[in-house]
């Protein structure tokens, strides 16, 4: 491990907040700033802002950047640099993509931007842009397997990923601005252009039966429309998933919605509404060509890929969910060692769990006491809602709902029990029983240890002859009395077992 890696790792172990880092994305349609809290395993945004500059408007006809957009971009980037530095950003990575890359005056614009704002601007090649998009998805889903499709204003990036690596990649001039101009807004003509472009890249049709990861603001807006049309219980875009047939059917319905109907859907800007039909056309065609098993909408993309690329190797290798849970626990003043101990202590209750189930249970154990500052009557509700709606958790919605429910049951219940129905409908009964077991186990663990590290190691759990047995030291005053006897009985009843305390 290099010195930089060691310093970063030590700072994180100590729970210190590293300096923020910023990414400015000078895109074909918008210019966006994201300031992240620091180089931790999960990119946590402190500030996120965008301005529509439409640099790529008219590029297909003139070969030049939009002059009005250039002026806006100069002012916008200057403002963004000021914000990033005011927030203490340790570094500002400024990336320019398709419009600047392809325009005849793109290089001159980038140099002028550097001089005006005292920054370094990197004009990404198509391959570099595609790679960062793929890294963004891998940042949140290390085991992602399939094709990443990132739709911007100037280009469409396609990358094949699997086993944490990238193989095939393609950059196509099918961004929404350019496609709309090339087709004069006609859907049929646009589909013809899309087909012609994709037909040259046969690997896209061969990488089928896996996952298609949709990246980009236009497709996030499309996901919002799908959620609204389905009356879906969870309004979270992160890893919102549809099977292929369901997605194609939804897009067909959406294509017939009136502008007025679309305007009533929360979270979609007027500028996005105008491009939704074209965005849907591109994605629908990709679904037909790639034939993925499922479509996953990712909130991570090029900017998160740039963030991930900058991480030291030791942090990149960490599991994003476990790392995030540890970071949240440290921020709440709860020792992570106790979370790992609780996870190990509870293991006899879960003999045949998969690696994924084991990781989710570890996350619940790490987050078990994070909401201790909330009013006792609302801890269950606050824990549940926070985890269910956390925008950058990186989990599929079923796993997200399971984790949220486990923490809900850890705190018992709350005054708004009907709210948990939105998670229950996403889970099979067997999964609900499992997360209740985790929650009740966490309640028992806290009754024994008060959340302090080292205490649970003095005790043990086991299931023998139809009985849940809790073994405690006979002479230790910690275990002479307390609520743990009542909570042991509650857990045993849930499991259909007798409960017994064994003092040795």
Instruction: Out of 73, 92, 123, pick the residue that ends a domain.
Output: 123
Quote the distance between the C-alpha of residue 11 and its chain's center: 24
Between 425 and 258, the more confident residue is: 425
Q: How far apart are alpha carbons 431 and 444 in whole angstroms?
A: 20
Give mean pLDDT, residues 471-493: 95
Domains held by the chain: number:
3
Determine the straight-line distance between the first and last CA of the chain, rounded to whole angstroms.
45
Question: Do 25 and 8 share a domain, yes or no?
Answer: yes
For the beta carbon of residue 467, count every other beta carbon within 10 angstroms. 13
Q: Is 154 within a domain?
A: yes
Three-class SS of residue 195?
helix
Q: Are 383 and 230 in contact (CB under 8 A)?
A: no
Question: 325 with 280, same domain?
Answer: no
Q: Does residue 113 sit in the same domain as residue 204?
A: no
**How do beta strands 156-162 and 498-503 pair?**
unpaired
Sign (positive or negative) of CA dihedral 242, 243, 246, 247:
positive
CATH code, domain with 142: 3.30.420.150
Of residues 1 and 231, more confidently modeled:
231
Domain end, chosen from 243, 271, 303, is at 303
* 50/187: higher pLDDT: 50
Residue 184: count of CB within 10 angstroms of its CB: 8
Whether residue 279 lies inside any domain: the answer is yes
Residue 356 lies in a domain: yes
Question: Tell me, what's the pLDDT at 273?
Answer: 81
Count of beta carbons in the 10 Å neighbourhood of residue 454: 11
- Of the candidates 76, 130, 74, 72, the residue with the CA atom closest to the CA atom of residue 101: 130
Spell 143-176 as b/e; 16+ CB within 10 A means b: ebebbbbbbbbbbbbbbbbeeeebebbbbbbbbb
pLDDT tens, residue by residue, 49-73: 999 999 999 998 999 999 999 999 9
How high is the pLDDT of residue 416? 57
With a pLDDT cut of 70, the percent of the chain lying above it is: 96
Q: What is the CATH number of the domain that holds 110?
A: 3.30.420.40
User: Of the ranges 170-184, 252-266, 302-316, 366-380, which one carries the lowest mean pLDDT score?
Assistant: 252-266
Task: Identify whether residues 135 and 209 lie together within a single domain.
Answer: yes
Q: Give the per-residue pLDDT at 252.
A: 83
Pairing of strands 121-123, 146-151: unpaired
308 within a domain of the structure (yes/no): no
Which residue would you say has higher pLDDT here, 2 or 33? Answer: 33
Tell me the angle at which helices 67-86 and 106-117 cross, rounded to the nearest 10 degrees: 30
Examine residue 175 and state whether it is found in any structural domain, yes or no: yes
Helix axes 176-183, 187-198, angle to 10 degrees: 120
Please check whether residues 370 and 477 belong to one and the same domain.
Answer: yes
> Does 216 fall in a domain?
yes
Give 292's pLDDT tier (boundaries 50, 70, 90): very high
Looking at residue 238, its pLDDT comes to 92
| Lowest model confidence (mean pLDDT) among 271-275, 310-314, 455-459 | 271-275
The last residue of one of the domains, among 273, 303, 333, is 303
Supply the range of the domain harboring residue 329.
320-503
- Domain harbouring 331, CATH code: 1.10.3210.10
- 30 pLDDT higher than 70: yes
Among the residue ranges 48-52, 178-182, 263-267, 360-364, the one predicted with the least confidence is 263-267
- 131 shares its domain with 261: yes
The residue-averaged pLDDT of 374-395 equals 90
Q: What is the pLDDT of residues 345-378, one digit of tens each?
A: 999 999 999 999 999 999 999 999 999 999 998 9
* Pair 347, 228 in one domain: no
- What pLDDT sits at residue 254? 81
User: Within this chain, do residues 339 and 378 fall inside the same structural domain, yes or no?
Assistant: yes
3-state SS class at 294:
strand
Least confident residue range of 1-5, 120-124, 376-380: 1-5
**282 and 372 both lie in a single domain:** no
314: in domain:
no
- The verdict on 215 and 106 lying in the same domain is no
**Residue 10: pLDDT band with limits 50, 70, 90:** very low
Q: Is residue 40 part of a domain?
A: yes
pLDDT in tens, 77-107: 999 999 999 999 999 999 999 999 999 999 9
Q: 385 and 273, same structural domain? A: no
pLDDT reading at 4 higher than 60:
no
Same-domain status, 329 and 452 = yes
């Amino acid at each position: 491990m290099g010195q930089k890696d060691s310093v970063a790792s030590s700072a994180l172990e100590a729970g210190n907040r590293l300096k923020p880092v910023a990414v400015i994305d000078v895109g074909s349609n918008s210019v966006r700033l994201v300031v992240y809290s620091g180089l931790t395993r999960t990119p946590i945004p402190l500030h996120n802002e965008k301005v529509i500059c439409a640099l790529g408007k008219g590029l297909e006809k003139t070969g030049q950047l939009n002059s009005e957009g250039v002026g806006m971009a100069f002012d916008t980037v200057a403002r963004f640099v000021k914000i990033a530095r005011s927030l203490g950003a340790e570094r500002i990575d400024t990336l320019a993509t398709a419009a600047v890359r392809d325009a005849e005056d793109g290089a001159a614009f980038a140099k002028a931007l550097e001089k005006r704002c005292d920054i370094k601007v990197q004009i990404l090649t198509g391959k570099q842009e595609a790679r960062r998009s793929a890294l963004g998805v891998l940042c949140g889903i290390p085991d992602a397997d399939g094709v990443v499709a990132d739709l911007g204003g100037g280009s469409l990036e396609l990358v094949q990923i699997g086993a944490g690596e990238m193989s095939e990649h393609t950059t196509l001039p099918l961004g929404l601005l350019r496609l709309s101009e090339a087709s004069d807004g006609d859907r049929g003509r646009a589909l013809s252009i899309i087909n012609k472009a994709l037909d040259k890249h046969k690997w896209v049709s061969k990488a089928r039966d896996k996952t298609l990861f949709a990246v980009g603001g236009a497709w996030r807006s499309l996901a919002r429309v799908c959620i609204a049309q389905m009356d879906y219980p969870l309004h979270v875009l992160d890893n919102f998933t549809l099977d292929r047939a369901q997605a194609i059917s939804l897009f067909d319905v959406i294509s017939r919605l009136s502008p007025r109907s679309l305007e009533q859907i929360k979270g979609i800007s007027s500028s996005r509404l105008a491009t939704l039909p074209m965005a849907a056309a591109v994605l629908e065609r990709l679904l037909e060509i790639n034939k993925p098993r499922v479509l996953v909408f990712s909130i991570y993309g090029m900017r998160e890929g740039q963030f991930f690329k900058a991480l030291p190797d030791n942090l990149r290798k960490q599991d994003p969910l476990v790392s995030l849970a540890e970071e949240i626990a440290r921020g709440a003043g709860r020792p992570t060692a106790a979370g790992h101990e609780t996870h190990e202590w509870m293991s006899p209750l879960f003999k045949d769990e998969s690696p994924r189930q084991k990781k989710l249970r570890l996350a619940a154990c790490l987050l078990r006491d994070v909401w201790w500052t909330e009013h006792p009557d609302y801890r269950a509700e606050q824990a549940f809602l926070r985890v269910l709606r956390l925008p950058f958790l990186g989990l599929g919605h079923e796993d997200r709902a399971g984790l949220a429910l486990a923490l809900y049951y850890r705190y018992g219940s709350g005054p708004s029990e009907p709210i948990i129905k939105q998670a229950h409908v996403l889970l099979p009964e067997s999964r609900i029983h499992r997360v209740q077991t985790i929650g009740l186990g966490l309640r028992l663990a806290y009754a024994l240890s008060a959340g302090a590290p080292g205490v649970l190691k003095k005790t043990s759990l086991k299931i023998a002859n139809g009985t849940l047995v809790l073994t405690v030291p006979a002479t230790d005053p910690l275990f002479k009395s307390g609520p743990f006897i009542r909570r042991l009985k509650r857990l045993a009843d849930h499991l259909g077992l007798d409960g017994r305390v064994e003092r040795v």
